Structure 1
Amino acid sequence: MAVLGEFARTRLAGDRLHRARRRDARTADPARGLAAGMDDACRRDAALDRTIAGLGLGALARPQRHPEFGRHCAAVELFGRAAAGGRSDLPETARAPLRRAVRAAGRRARAGGVGTRARRTLTMRLVLATERTRFDAGAERLAIELARRAQASLHVVYPLVANPEYQIVAPERVAAEEAAARAALEELARQASAAGITVSIHVREGEEPWREIADEARERQADLLVVRRIGKRGVLARLVVGEMVSQVAANSAVPVLMVADSPLWSRRVLVAIERHARAAAVAPVAVTLAALAHAPLAVCADESDAAIVAESARRQGVACERLADAGALDAAFAPRVQQAGADLLVLGLTPAQSAHGRLSRAIEELIGAVPCPTALVRG
């Protein structure tokens, strides 16, 4: 198929020159121009035969020759010329199955990345962490919408604080809490089902809720973990981000999307990659999130990192432009998000920004200073 693609490009260049010469001839002599047009049609039929043979579809063409060649070539015979392609004229009923077969072969080639660059299917494995509080409502709505856009199922995890001593002393209370959690998740599952989403619910018990959430995402091999951010703005960024959420983001092996109470982004996705962060890990996450919402990308990173994101965006057909280096990722970066007209921020973090089991203070302040959802990708 690669050879066939090269042949097609060469053939296209030759055809353009050939058509230009034919136009000049038609202008000088309309009669000869009509004959040349018929000649061109026969030449195209012959080229189609060769293409069909190269695709292994030649058997479809052999019985389809038109028996009344003279009637269709009367204009050529009138002006004293013979068609170069011979008996290659096909009726429309014969051409239709050939067209379908050629197009199907082309689709198979594109799906396999042969001859043209294939556009990958957007698939995501989504995990939503929730405790069904009013602060979780925004993350729940957005996770359902993402699952609908990606045509994916949704795994929902509900963390419960528990320890062996507590289970021994008050087993009835533990059982009641678990039953209440499952009832709350069943209500969420009904909401998702109304949107056509399949939901699986998981109640996990442990001494550290953040660890149960991170473990669930890892075990499900999730592509994205959606969590609340706590939407009530306060003086301290930590009150906006939340202790458990910060620990989840700092320890999760998969990208984390923090949501307060925002709809799905649609205007622009801004990607900020600090030096020493892994752009190769950030790029597929940012491009997929942009493609799901049909939104363009803007990149704040150095030239090499921006090139990595731009190449990933090009493969998915997502518009992408580089703005400037991200610089330090802290609260001072927040105005640039608004200036870019972005309604989703994707941050590429260095190991130092998620050290000591929680996000750095600068990153938490940045997340608290922007109103839009924020996706965090650790390097």
Structure 2
Amino acid sequence: MAVLGEFARTRLAGDRLHRARRRDARTADPARGLAAGMDDACRRDAALDRTIAGLGLGALARPQRHPEFGRHRAAVELFGRATARGRSDLPETARAPLRRAVRAAGRRARAGGVGTRARRTLTMRLVLATERTRFDAGAERLAIELARRAQASLHVVYPLVANPEYQIVAPERVAAEEAAARAALEELARQASAAGITVSIHVREGEEPWREIADEARERQADLLVVRRIGKRGVVARLVVGEMVSQVAANSAVPVLMVADSPLWSRRVLVAIERHARAAAVAPVAVTLAALAHAPLAVCADESDAAIVAESARRQGVACERLADAGALDAAFAPRVQQAGADLLVLGLTPAQSAHGRLSRAIEELIGAVPCPTALVRG
């Protein structure tokens, strides 16, 4: 019923456009008023697209839209054709600027914008979690490069384990540890400054380091939290991922990017979405990461979820193709990452895969089995 309601409202946009045309014919600048009416139709059509995507109907519902009222044709057909054939009741002096306004708005609509606004600028609020160990070096380098690509500042959080008894018995040792942490972060800030990045340093103390990291990302309203992937290498995936990192990823309210020691992706971004994961939450993260690196997208998901990602990619001008269903996300999925030629993996997780305060064993084994960075988006 919601879709039918949106269809009805979209079809009524034509009547509103005709009324605007007659009303604005009596104004001093009719082209501006008619372009505004066209923009209103564009907005309504974009809202319809979002409703269809949100209901999981994907591209199956869009061809049913009336051809005269789609974003790609509505105003150009209603106004451009009428004025071109000389049937407009506007004065001759107003027809040329009207045609220009309609064509310009049509180009904006076809390019993925809505109304008079240009395509959305890619911006990200980035938080990097580090303890300045050799395992953190790859995450630090990639976070700086992401901030440079996004022309964004970088917030860096350094977690310290707080022990109330230790603070009472040896407060000077606690102060020395905090001073050492800040000195290490100052060196990182100098590296970022050399790349033109502004860094904000945050040293947080708490009994659970993962909680301090997750809280910092939430308080900064981050779009992405960058962390290391490897703690201590071992034959068990949990040792490769690291306990603290697994807890951060399972409890973070923002997407988490795990990095071992890899450069910025450039070949392909592979998106894998399990059933019952929220594709609408995964799509903007995957598309933004692909757009920042000028890399194409490949999607492993069912048709409805893949359609949501494809629509988001289209709006940002990112190439996207669907490969197949994701199936089970575990170590057996790792060869498909290599077969796709991907150097970034984006996973859409279900609540069950991040339950009990840490990632599931299957997800940790998958992360440990792929050499590329992995972004995790919880549903």
Between 51-60 and 344-353, the greater mean CA deviation after superposition: 51-60
Please tell me whether the aligned partners of residues 64 and 94 of structure 1 are also in contact (alpha carbons under 8 angstroms).
Answer: no
**Residue equivalent to 1:173:** 173
In the superposition, relative to structure 1, how do residues 189 and 99 fare at CA in structure 2: closer, same or farther (>3 Å)?
farther
Question: Following TM superposition, by how much is the alpha carbon of 1:234 offset from its aligned partner in structure 2, in angstroms?
Answer: 2.4
Question: Following TM superposition, by how much is the alpha carbon of 1:168 offset from its aligned partner in structure 2, in angstroms?
Answer: 1.3
Using the alignment, how far apart are the partners of 2:294 and 2:179 within structure 1?
40
Using the alignment, how far apart are the partners of 2:333 and 2:69 within structure 1?
73
Pair 1:249 & 2:249 matched: yes
In the superposition, relative to structure 1, how do residues 102 and 53 fare at CA in structure 2: closer, same or farther (>3 Å)?
farther
Q: Secondary structure at the match of 2:226?
A: strand
Question: Following TM superposition, by how much is the alpha carbon of 1:246 offset from its aligned partner in structure 2, in angstroms?
Answer: 0.2
Using the alignment, how far apart are the partners of 1:274 and 1:177 within structure 2?
43
In the superposition, relative to structure 1, how do residues 174 and 325 fare at CA in structure 2: closer, same or farther (>3 Å)?
same
1:190-228 CA distances to partner (integer Å, 9 max, x unpaired)?
A: 000000000000000000000000000000000000000
Using the alignment, how far apart are the partners of 1:77 and 1:227 within structure 2?
51
Please tell me whether the aligned partners of residues 130 and 157 of structure 1 are also in contact (alpha carbons under 8 angstroms).
Answer: yes
Between 75-84 and 254-263, the greater mean CA deviation after superposition: 75-84
Using the alignment, how far apart are the partners of 1:346 and 1:68 within structure 2?
38
In the superposition, relative to structure 1, how do residues 99 and 159 fare at CA in structure 2: closer, same or farther (>3 Å)?
farther
Task: Spell out the pairing of 1:159-198 with structure 2 (5 A cutoff).
Answer: 159-198=159-198
In the superposition, relative to structure 1, how do residues 26 and 377 fare at CA in structure 2: closer, same or farther (>3 Å)?
closer
Using the alignment, how far apart are the partners of 1:63 and 1:326 within structure 2?
26
Q: Is the radius of gyration larger for structure 1 or structure 2?
A: 1
Using the alignment, how far apart are the partners of 1:360 and 1:39 within structure 2?
47
In the superposition, relative to structure 1, how do residues 335 and 92 fare at CA in structure 2: closer, same or farther (>3 Å)?
farther
Q: Secondary structure at the match of 1:346?
A: strand
Using the alignment, how far apart are the partners of 2:57 and 2:131 within structure 1?
58
1:136-192 CA distances to partner (integer Å, 9 max, x unpaired)?
A: 000000000000000000000000001322211111011000000000000000000
Runs of at least 5 residues in structure 2 that lack an aligned partner in the other structure: none
Instruction: Give the share of equivalent positions with the same residue, in percent.
Output: 99
Using the alignment, how far apart are the partners of 1:142 and 1:292 within structure 2?
12
Please tell me whether the aligned partners of residues 287 and 313 of structure 2 are also in contact (alpha carbons under 8 angstroms).
Answer: yes
Using the alignment, how far apart are the partners of 1:246 and 1:227 within structure 2?
10
Question: Following TM superposition, by how much is the alpha carbon of 1:270 offset from its aligned partner in structure 2, in angstroms?
Answer: 0.3
Using the alignment, how far apart are the partners of 1:70 and 1:321 within structure 2?
23
In the superposition, relative to structure 1, how do residues 268 and 89 fare at CA in structure 2: closer, same or farther (>3 Å)?
same
Using the alignment, how far apart are the partners of 1:76 and 1:48 within structure 2?
19
Using the alignment, how far apart are the partners of 1:16 and 1:131 within structure 2?
59
Question: Following TM superposition, by how much is the alpha carbon of 1:263 offset from its aligned partner in structure 2, in angstroms?
Answer: 0.2
In the superposition, relative to structure 1, how do residues 95 and 50 fare at CA in structure 2: closer, same or farther (>3 Å)?
farther
Please tell me whether the aligned partners of residues 130 and 136 of structure 2 are also in contact (alpha carbons under 8 angstroms).
Answer: yes
How high is the TM-score relative to the length of structure 1? Answer: 0.72
Using the alignment, how far apart are the partners of 1:109 and 1:183 within structure 2?
50
Count of equivalent residues: 379
Please tell me whether the aligned partners of residues 46 and 88 of structure 1 are also in contact (alpha carbons under 8 angstroms).
Answer: no
Please tell me whether the aligned partners of residues 296 and 320 of structure 2 are also in contact (alpha carbons under 8 angstroms).
Answer: yes
In the superposition, relative to structure 1, how do residues 176 and 321 fare at CA in structure 2: closer, same or farther (>3 Å)?
same
Question: Following TM superposition, by how much is the alpha carbon of 1:292 offset from its aligned partner in structure 2, in angstroms?
Answer: 0.3
How high is the TM-score relative to the length of structure 2? Answer: 0.72
**Residue equivalent to 2:85:** 85
Using the alignment, how far apart are the partners of 2:303 and 2:47 within structure 1?
45
Q: Secondary structure at the match of 2:258?
A: strand
Please tell me whether the aligned partners of residues 353 and 363 of structure 2 are also in contact (alpha carbons under 8 angstroms).
Answer: yes
Question: Following TM superposition, by how much is the alpha carbon of 1:69 offset from its aligned partner in structure 2, in angstroms?
Answer: 42
Please tell me whether the aligned partners of residues 26 and 34 of structure 1 are also in contact (alpha carbons under 8 angstroms).
Answer: no
Question: Following TM superposition, by how much is the alpha carbon of 1:16 offset from its aligned partner in structure 2, in angstroms?
Answer: 28
Please tell me whether the aligned partners of residues 214 and 252 of structure 2 are also in contact (alpha carbons under 8 angstroms).
Answer: yes
Between 223-232 and 333-342, the greater mean CA deviation after superposition: 223-232
**Residue equivalent to 2:263:** 263
Please tell me whether the aligned partners of residues 249 and 359 of structure 1 are also in contact (alpha carbons under 8 angstroms).
Answer: yes
Between 224-233 and 88-97, the greater mean CA deviation after superposition: 88-97
In the superposition, relative to structure 1, how do residues 36 and 17 fare at CA in structure 2: closer, same or farther (>3 Å)?
closer
Please tell me whether the aligned partners of residues 297 and 320 of structure 1 are also in contact (alpha carbons under 8 angstroms).
Answer: yes
